[in-house]
Amino acid sequence: MMSLPFLLFACALGAAWTSRREAAMGFWLAGVVVFLVLFRIHANEVLNIGL
Amino acid sequence: MTANLSKLLNALGLVAIDTVLVVAFADQLWFRDLPCPVCILQRAGFIAAAFGIALNLIYGPRPSHYGIAILGALAGAIISAWQILVYVVPGSGSYGNTILGLHLYSWAVLMFAVIVAGSAVMLLFDRQFTPTEPLPARLRLLPMMAIALLLLLALANIVSTLAICGFGVGCPERPGGYLIINDSLSVTLLGEPS
ipTM score of complex: 0.91
Q: Judge whether residue B166 has pLDDT over 60.
A: yes
| Alpha carbon distance A9, A31 (integer Å) | 6
Q: Judge whether residue B36 has pLDDT over 80.
A: yes
How much is the pLDDT for B194?
Answer: 42
Q: Is B98 helix (H, G, I), strand (E, B) or coil?
A: strand
What is the number of CB-based contacts under 8 A between chain A and chain B? 106
Chain A partners within 8 Å of B55 (Cβ) = 16, 21, 24
Q: Judge whether residue B78 has pLDDT over 90.
A: yes
**Which amino acid belongs to residue B185?**
L
| Alpha carbon distance A43, B105 (integer Å) | 14
Closest chain B residue by Cα to residue A35: B41
| Alpha carbon distance B162, B168 (integer Å) | 9
Q: Is A37 at the interface with chain B, CB within 8 A?
A: no
Average pLDDT of the residues of chain A: 89
pTM value is 0.89
Closest CA to B15 of B106, B142, B105: B142
β-strands B98-99, B102-103: how paired? antiparallel
How much is the pLDDT for B59?
Answer: 92
**Which amino acid belongs to residue A34?**
V
| Alpha carbon distance B110, B123 (integer Å) | 20
